[in-house]
Amino acid sequence: MREITIPISDEIIRSLKVGDTVALTGVMLTGRDAVHKWMIETFIKKTRDPQGDDLEVYQAIKPLLEGGVIYHCGPVVSGLDTGEYKFVAAGPTTSIREEPYQGDVMRHFNMKGVIGKGGMGAQTLQACNEVPGVYLHAVGGAASLIAQSVEKVLGVHKMAFGIPEAIWVLQVKEFPVVVTMDSHNHSLHAEVEEKSKAQLDRLLAEA
């Protein structure tokens, strides 16, 4: 397993290939549907004006996403009453829901990694090639195990979105992932889909 520290350089990203196992150490953010929609509408396409703490949050997360990583995760968090937050479970969310947004978010923030499960589509793969970046697959069904890689919750933004949808700022150590989409236009998810379709077509032809 290759150990990589966040923020991640272009050189390291270009050296990663589909199938590589990686242990990430550093600071990462969580972000799901509400966060991606907010980023796109407020700061990228600018179809809505910044409101409330929008600008403050943007200034806080922008340097963390430069060379950084976003994790599609809706965590279970303890310590909500005291503010002494701790991740109890940190399993990945299905990533394809962010496909309409992810490429533009990667380009805007110069973001190098996206973590989730299930893979993403052609738009994100193109952004991985351009930025460059990678898609990193976290193990589904191992939420409690993954949470052990979260050393500390450094902060949280946009709690108004709800606990699963908020932006959690995490200090992680040896966070385990597998590269399934790289910066060289290779996608394990696309390959599996193509092979599955070919197998289905063959079976239908024989029926």
d(CA 87, CA 107): 29
Q: b/e per residue, 118-130, with b = 16+ CB within 10 A? A: bbbbeebbebbee
Q: Taking a C-beta distance cutoff of 8 angstroms, is the pair 77, 87 a contact? A: yes
Quote the CA–CA distance of 136 and 154 in Å, as a whole number. Answer: 22
- CA nearest to 54, candidates 74, 40, 70: 40
Q: Which residues does the annotation mark as catalytic?
A: 36
- Block residue for tokens 């272009």: 10
Residue pair 90/72 in contact by the 8 Å Cβ criterion: no
Q: Would you say 92 and 116 are in contact if contact means Cβ atoms under 8 Å apart?
A: yes
